[in-house]
Amino acid sequence: MTGRSSSSESFAGGAAALGARVRAGEVSARQVVEAALEELAVSEPSLHCFNLVTADAALEAADAVDATVALGGDPGPLAGVPIALKDNLCTRGVATTCSSRILTCWEPPYDATVVRRLAAAGAVSLGKTNLDEFAMGSSTETSATGPTRNPWDLSRVPGGSSGGSAAAVAAGLVPLAFGSDTGGSIRQPAALCGVVGLKPTYGLVSRYGLVAFASSLDQIGPLTLTVRDAAVALQVIAGHDPLDSTSLDLPAADYTAELGRGVEGLRVGVISDFLPDASATCSGAVRQAAEALSSAGARVEEVDIPELLHGLSAYYLIAPAEASSNLARYDGVRYGLRVEADDVATMNAKTRAAGFGPEVKRRIMLGTYVLSAGYYDAYYGQALRVRTLIVRAFERAYERFDVLLAPTTPSVAFPLGAKTADPIEMYLSDLFTIPTNLAGHPAVSVPFALGEEGLPVGVQVLAPALGEAVMLRTAAALEAAADPGARGPVRPQLGEALEGAVS
Ligand code: GLN
């Protein structure tokens, strides 16, 4: 139900190539941004990628880039590149809702470090993208503003929680978007939308200004059309930030330097434990990817890491525990919504009852339960021990392998509503992405093949901490061997405008 996009063809070369053209004065940032806003106006009513489009601010930022070029200055590597920001990234004076009623109309007084670095690199934000409420979900359906649709098939989910960002890139509305990944929220929607999605090593990218979900797991990363763009974007946003106490004291590296080096002699482990739990198409894509790397000179072997299958259970204790603590701050006093009542405790309770959706409430209750006296050790403590087992299992695997290969998701994009009635079914969407977050490692999903109904299938490359260069090099080799039809941009067959918007 899709065709190649024509008007977004200028993005098909990717964000970095576009930035280079603007930087060289071949095309103005204003022209680029105006064209992007026009395209957005056509597709957005059917897709609902955005919670907010900041057209005026985008045009103003584009003019500033053009003024720098006119004066002979350097506007940066992403000069005039239209980008989209997940709506859990703080933007100064611009509503940041996390797709939750509780943050309705909240305007942060500061920019996230990532947002600041992107602006300094010349990128132009078109607005804030839809997500599962507080990034809790795998389909963008828990959003209080209604679901985003998958541009490959409007009756299907784009994945989540960074579904708006993934769909915006897949539909060619922007060549670069940003998401957050706590348990797979960049990689899973990237896979379901046929785009590249990268989760960096924990601590490589500042979390300052990312609304916290589970602080020991959250990382910000890019969604792009090409592996090269993911490398360029990472370089822009990575690097030490004194405003984030978990930020690693390292400079950003040049992640593009080794992209063309190939995989000759590289040791690649295919995680065998994940293959039986993936659909035939998804495990088939991994086997095909393994063969492609092997023909390109890599030494590919299967490896058993059974501990990883316990990641999901540990994650659904650790992440809710941290969330229950992080979300305590939404009390009707400090941010957003307030439901008035006669006394403070009732006001707090009523505000939270009205402001949070069912999935967020489920997580808060689960997290509060596993942290409570008498249960703490049996649940939370046990989950932390499993986390350590997973870290050690990865350590052993990386003694033998440079990178690991796995499916990103168990299936292709599923129909809207297919998993909303069964939280466990939804949670299983992240079976293959979660272990990486528990270990703090990087991973990237690359669109590789076409599966059922002509929908894209992603393959995941995992690497040890700070292994981004070798991971991206492997990803570039996969991209070269991939079915070119498996990646965006696609022009959605436009349907009816979507209902639903939050106040
Ligand atoms: N889908 C997972 C969850 O609901 C992961 C979300 C994320 O990475 N933000 O917790």
| 118, part of any domain | yes
Residue type, 443: A
CA of 315 to the centre of ligand 1 (A): 9
Which amino acid residue places its CA nearest to atom 5 of ligand 1? 183
Distance from Cα 115 to the centre of ligand 1, integer Å: 22
Same domain, 190 and 86: yes
Residue type present at position 265: G
What lines the ligand 1 site, CB under 6 Å? 135-138, 161, 180-185, 213, 319, 430
Say whether both 15 and 92 belong to one domain. Answer: yes
User: Does 502 fall in a domain?
Assistant: no
In the block, residue with structure tokens 């000069």: 79
pLDDT computed for residue 105 by the predictor: 86
User: Do 27 and 21 touch, CB atoms closer than 8 A?
Assistant: yes
Confidence at residue 496, expressed as pLDDT on a 0 to 100 scale: 64
Identify the domain boundary among 391, 425, 452: 391
Q: What is the pLDDT of residue 499?
A: 55
Q: What is the pLDDT of residue 253?
A: 87
Give the number of other Cβ atoms within 10 Å of residue 425's Cβ.
Answer: 13
pLDDT at 1: 39
Residue 11's pLDDT is: 84
Distance 219 CA to ligand 1 centre (A): 11
pLDDT < 70: residue spans in the chain: 1-10, 495-503
Ligand 1 midpoint to CA 162 (Å): 9
Amino acid symbol at 199? K
Q: Which of 391, 409, 427 is the last residue of a domain?
A: 391
CB 100, CB 356: distance < 8 Å: yes
Alpha-carbon distances, residue 217 vs 199, 222, 288, 428 (angstroms) = 11, 16, 31, 18
What CA–CA distance (Å, rounded) separates 315 from 363?
A: 12
Q: Residues 292, 385: one domain?
A: no
Same domain, 399 and 386: no
Q: Is residue 372 part of a domain?
A: yes
In this structure, are 91 and 185 located in the same domain? Answer: yes
187 and 275, same domain (yes or no): yes
In a domain, residue 501? The reply is no
Task: Please state the φ and ψ torsions of residue 280, each to the nearest 5 degrees.
Answer: -60, -40
The pTM assigned to this predicted structure is: 0.96
Q: How far is the CA of 183 from the centre of ligand 1 (A)?
A: 5
User: Rounded to whole angstroms, how far apart are CA atoms 266 and 293?
Assistant: 9
Order across the sheet with 267-271: list the strands: 50-53, 124-129, 82-86, 176-181, 219-224, 196-199, 443-450, 456-462, 403-407, 267-271, 299-303
Are 443 and 221 a contacting pair, CB within 8 Å?
A: no
Domain containing 376 equals: 308-391
Task: Say if residue 100 is in the same domain as residue 76.
Answer: yes
Residue 497 domain-assigned? no
Structural domain contains residue 498:
no
- CA 186 distance to own-chain centroid: 2
87: tokens are 């709506």
CATH of the domain at 155: 3.90.1300.10
- Ligand 1 center to residue 362 CA distance, Å? 13
Determine which residue's CA is closest to atom 10 belonging to ligand 1. 136
Q: Which two tokens stand for residue 269?
A: 């482990």
Atom from ligand 1 closest to the CA of residue 427:
1
Based on the fold, state whether residues 55 and 183 are members of the same structural domain: yes
Q: Is residue 499 part of a domain?
A: no
Rounded CA gap, 278 and 276, in Å? 6
In-domain check, residue 500: no
Between CA 205 and CA 138, with CA 161 as vertex, the angle to 5 degrees is: 130
What is the structure's pLDDT at 285?
98
Instruction: Examine the domain organization and report whether 359 and 460 are in the same domain.
Output: no
**Residue where a domain stops, chosen among 369, 391, 413:** 391
Q: Is the same domain home to 121 and 23?
A: yes
Domain co-membership, 343 together with 480: no
Indicate the top mutation candidate among 161, 317, 426, 445 to test ligand 1's pocket, ranked by most ligand atoms within 8 A of CB: 161
Beta carbons within 8 Å of 168's beta carbon, 6+ residues apart: 47, 49, 50, 84, 129, 174, 177
**Domain count across the chain:** 2
Distance 192 CA to ligand 1 centre (A): 15
CA distance 87 to 20: 27
Active-site annotation, residues: 86, 161, 185
How confident is the model over 22-35, as pLDDT tens digits? 999 999 999 999 99
Does residue 301 share a domain with residue 312? no
Closest-lying ligand 1 atom to the alpha carbon of residue 429 = 1
The H or E element spanning position 398 is: helix 382-400
In angstroms, rounded to a whole number, what is the distance separating the alpha carbons of residues 50 and 417? 20
**Confidence at residue 493, expressed as pLDDT on a 0 to 100 scale:** 79
